[in-house]
Structure 1
Amino acid sequence: MMARLIGRKYETGLLKEALDNDKSELIAIYGRRRVGKTFLVREIFKNELVFEVTGLYKGSMNDQLKSFVKEISKRTKHTIPAPPTWMEAFAALENYLDGLKGEEKKIIFIDEFPWIATARSKFLIAFENFWNRYCTKRNDLIVVICGSAASYMIQKIIRNKGGLHNRISRQIRLLPFNLNETAQFLKSRGISYTHYDITQVYMAMGGIPHYLEKLQKGLSVAQNIDKLCFEKDGILRNEFDLLYASLFDDSEKHLALIKVLAASNKGIIRQELIEKSGIPSGGDFSIKLEELMESGFVSEYPYYGKKKKLTLYRLSDEYSKFYLKFIQNNRNSGPGTWQRLHKSPSYISWAGFSFETLCLKHISQIKKALRIDAIYSTNSSWFNENAQVDLLIDRDDNIMNLCEMKFYNASFAIDKNYYLNLKNKIAALQQEANTHKNIFLTMVTTFGVTDNAYNRELVQNTIELDSLFSD
């Protein structure tokens, strides 16, 4: 997928620590489809991998067993017939491992673990037995289990109440690249885009390595998006349906939530999400929403003052938002579709809201640009009937940064109407928050803010797009 590993510093550190540990470890890695989980494991453990098998999507138990023992046969150079049970399959794996010499760490990698655990297969029981009875008696094994199906990984592995309870030594939730990592990735592939162009790519497909690697050198952003999203063989043209079906059981309910959230640019509260999705309040709704958040598709933003009922939920997956807004109804519009659409008023509106979501994923970079990353602060949203603040940074040094985020292809000019809107917003926040802190209006824009009387009076801080690309 990549010539070298980009970013992933924290995750790399965790995995390398396991290599230096003096005992066996069980590591769980999960994250949405195409985010780079498999590449990460193979890259970090490429010299220590002694067994690797990948679950077959919708494969039968017999299919999975054949695949499992085929890997053992390949490693041992002795053909092993597919056994009838998983207990026997793991016994064959144990025999293979017993024959490996040396005290160095040995990696057993089971990818797409949930797909192997077919109904009534008793795979999980056999795996629990393998770990508890065999692996824990050794100190040279690292078993990595990986899965895109967040519902399974969270409920059956990380929160397991049976044989794997408290057995996971490390867990990694792998998220998409941020802007900095995306820029590094594209550079590694010889693609030279400006930060503005990279941002346009990011707003359409997010920081998903598998999507980004399909961008073609020598094409403009509009040409590449056309090719990937609107042409008949574009990989993102039909990715949406595959994405959710492969990640979640009962994905229709997840999609119902996603579609409601996609229609709300500023986010909605839980009760409104329940009503509009038609999913009754209760355990099932909570589980589905949590699975979407754990997979990185949905984010929650607490309301100022920790009013839980006013917590906002936003669709934070760029590709899903882009698909539902543009691809779904324009897949058969012919060549040049995006080159036409990206000049339309609907694009301008979409880009503005998408940029806000992007900024909310880069709050640490915003704080770094403000030089407040060493000051304790909390992030929240705030709104009333007439105004909304998507990012409010409440600091311990008597300051609140009210962040306004604007995506524009030139310096952004504050006109009279927007000036009055901002004045009213600041006054309403000051009154309803009942705070004596200074409220600093902070503009986060692509190319800065035009110097005029309105800007000089109201704006305390300006942050430009380049700052969002910092580490």
Structure 2
Amino acid sequence: QQLLNFFGEYLRRTERMKETQAPVSWHQAFDYLASYLSGLPQPATKHVVFLDEMPWLDTPKSEFVPALEFFWNQHVSKMDHVLLIACGSASSWIRKKLINARGGLYNRITQRIKLMPFTLSETALFIQSLGVNLPQYQILELYMAMGGIPFYLKEVEKGKSATQLIDDICFSPQGLLREEYKQLYHSLFRDAEYHIAIVEALAARPQGMTRTEIAADTKISEGSLSKTLEELCESDFISILSPLLKKKKDAIYKLTDLYSLFYLKFIQPNQGAGSRIWEQLSKQGAYAAWSGYAFENICMKHINQIKSALGISGVYTKHSSWKFKGDDSLPGAQIDMIIDRADQIIHLCEAKFTKENYILTKDAAAQLRLRKTIFKQASQTKKAVFSTLLTTYPALQNKYYLEEIDSEITMDKLFER
């Protein structure tokens, strides 16, 4: 089928003036293409050969990669007027077969482009280009549900609130994201059951899991686990946080793909629950708890904006997590987001996603104070330790805030470029 698709495009481009017999192999297809390219005039700018979704062209026994090797080395590398762009959404395939190639494609890449999801700033600009004008808080709500994926965001329509849009896109029978989840993983990974198993295990533990915990929960063999974790990390579905002051084996894996988190928490359990279900779900306590984790994930994805807001863009930092199980003298504690600065300062970050200005209560202040004390004593750090609040709207600066909070970053800072 892929060869037929190729040949259809070839016939269109050549206006049926060259080969008219469909190729029977990729070697023959690339030979057709090389012949066509060699006859093109040399323009002021280069002719572009764009091969999209290459991982799916490389089917078993297709000989696609060897044919591509020969096509490049024998033909295109000698054509100064041609630029070859190799593209694929399965980034693990790109890394293995092209970037880390050991055969005829070794060291042939001249430029790498990794397309990342839109940031909040880019998301705001994108939906504005669609004629949609929403306040930052509602853009954050959309981002929590679908991330910065343009293919998802293009479904946003003007004249609707974020609540209406999430209902339409994620919960209605015709909604793009109602059934996207399993199609997504099966379209990116062959034998995606392991990938889905890991994603769903991590979704149930939003604070993250160690590799040992993932293996115990999913029962995936060591070899398959390594490969699957690598592919999920490479494709940005999960992230690895190296715990502060701990060994590599204690690294925490977190599910940070926002759509997958939202689907597993809300869409999957509520399919068929009726129209306008999101308006009800978004008012429940489960959403309030979940949105805190989602907001924290968004903050982690915007670490550069946070550093800029703190005035430390030029300072080397590492962001990580920290967990202390407790001992005879100290209770346990966990901090999900830490910014460790090279200039001898550590920020213990606390994310709060609220519709109104956040109010730090006496009990919450006591928890922050205890957490900082445990961290200082258990880590034995010599660095200064600051409590940094990440909020939607500015927190009320009451006595508890003034006593415990060293710095605060509001959502408008996350929307900066």
1:286 corresponds to 2:226: yes
The amino acid across from 2:285 in the alignment is P
Structure 2 gap segments, 5+ residues each: 326-331
Does the 8 Å contact 1:151/1:249 carry over to 2?
A: no
Using the size of structure 2 for normalisation, the TM-score is: 0.95
1:94 matched to 2:64? The reply is no
- Residue identity matched to 1:470: E
Name the residue aligned to 1:328: 268
TM-score by length of 1: 0.84
Per mean C-alpha deviation after superposition, the further-off stretch among 367-376 and 393-402 is 393-402
Question: CA shift at 1:395, angstroms?
Answer: 1.7
Secondary structure of the residue aligned to 2:396 is: coil
Q: CA deviation at 1:136?
A: 1.4
Q: Which residue of 2 aligns with 1:303?
A: 243
Q: CA deviation at 1:140?
A: 2.0
CA–CA separation in structure 2 for the residues paired with 1:90 and 1:146: 16
Match of residue 329 from structure 2? none
Q: How does 1:113-124 map to 2 (within 5 A)?
A: 113-124=54-65
Deviation per residue, 1:341-368 (Å, 9 max, x gap):
1101111111111111111111111110
* Distance in 1, Cα, partners of 2:185 & 2:110: 28
Q: Is 2:314 aligned against 1:374?
A: yes
Shift of 1:95: 1.3
Once residues 150 and 338 of structure 1 are traced to their aligned partners in structure 2, the CA distance between those partners, rounded to angstroms, is 33
> What amino acid is aligned across from residue 77 of structure 1 in structure 2?
E
Counterparts of 1:442-453 in structure 2, within 5 Å, are 442-453=388-399
Q: Distance in 1 between matches of 2:166 and 2:261?
A: 14
Secondary structure of the corresponding residue to residue 69 of structure 1: helix
Contact 1:399 1:438 in 2 (8 A): yes
CA distance in 2, matches of 1:378, 1:122: 43
What is the one-letter code of the residue matched to 2:198? L
Establish whether residue 171 from structure 1 lines up as the match of residue 112 from structure 2. Answer: yes
Is 1:71 aligned to 2:3, yes or no?
A: no
Shift of 1:247: 0.3
CA distance in 1, matches of 2:128, 2:23: 48
SS in 2 for 1:243: helix
2:409 corresponds to 1:469:
no
**One-letter amino acid of the counterpart of residue 412, structure 1:** Y
Name 2:359's counterpart in structure 1: 413
Q: What is the CA–CA distance in structure 2 between the aligned matches of 1:436 and 1:160, rounded to whole Å?
A: 45
Distance 1:311 1:122 in 2: 38
With CA pairs under 8 Å and 6+ residues apart, which has the higher RCO, 1 or 2? 1
Q: Determine the C-alpha separation between the residues in 1 that align with 2:31 and 2:316.
A: 53
Shift of 1:89: 1.3
Take 1:315 and 1:200, find their aligned partners in 2: how far apart are those partners?
18
Q: Which amino acid is 1:318 matched to?
A: L
Size of the aligned set, in residue pairs, is 408
Structure 1, unaligned runs of 5 or more: 1-62
The answer to which of 451-460 and 245-254 deviates more is 451-460
Aligned to 2:328: none
User: Separation in 2 of the partners of 1:149 and 1:392?
Assistant: 31
Instruction: Determine if contact 1:406/1:445 at 8 Å carries over to the other structure.
Output: yes
| One-letter code aligned to 1:118 | T
Q: Structure 2 counterpart of 1:433, which letter?
A: S
Alignment of 1:24-423 (within 5 A): 63-78=1-16, 80-103=20-43, 104-281=45-222, 283-385=223-325, 386-423=332-369
Q: Distance in 2 between matches of 1:372 and 1:64?
A: 50
Code of the residue aligned with 1:75 in structure 2: it is R
| Percent of residue pairs identical | 43
Question: Match for 2:336: what amino acid?
Answer: D
Instruction: Tell me the distance in 2 between the aligned counterparts of 1:246 and 1:117.
Output: 14
Native 8 Å contact 1:107 1:141 kept in 2 = yes
Q: Which AA in structure 1 matches 2:78?
A: K
Deviation at 1:185, TM superposition (A): 0.5
C-alpha separation in 2, matches of 1:410 and 1:122: 59
List per-residue Cα deviations over 1:20-67 (Å, max 9, x = no partner). Answer: xxxxxxxxxxxxxxxxxxxxxxxxxxxxxxxxxxxxxxxxxxx22222
TM-fit CA distance, 1:274? 1.1
Letter of the 2:92 counterpart: S
Q: Distance in 2 between matches of 1:99 and 1:171?
A: 28
Residue 378 of structure 1 and its aligned partner are, at CA, apart by 1.9
Shift of 1:261: 0.5
Q: Is contact 2:201-2:217 (8 Å) kept?
A: yes
- Conservation of the 8 A alpha-carbon contact between 1:151 and 1:248: no
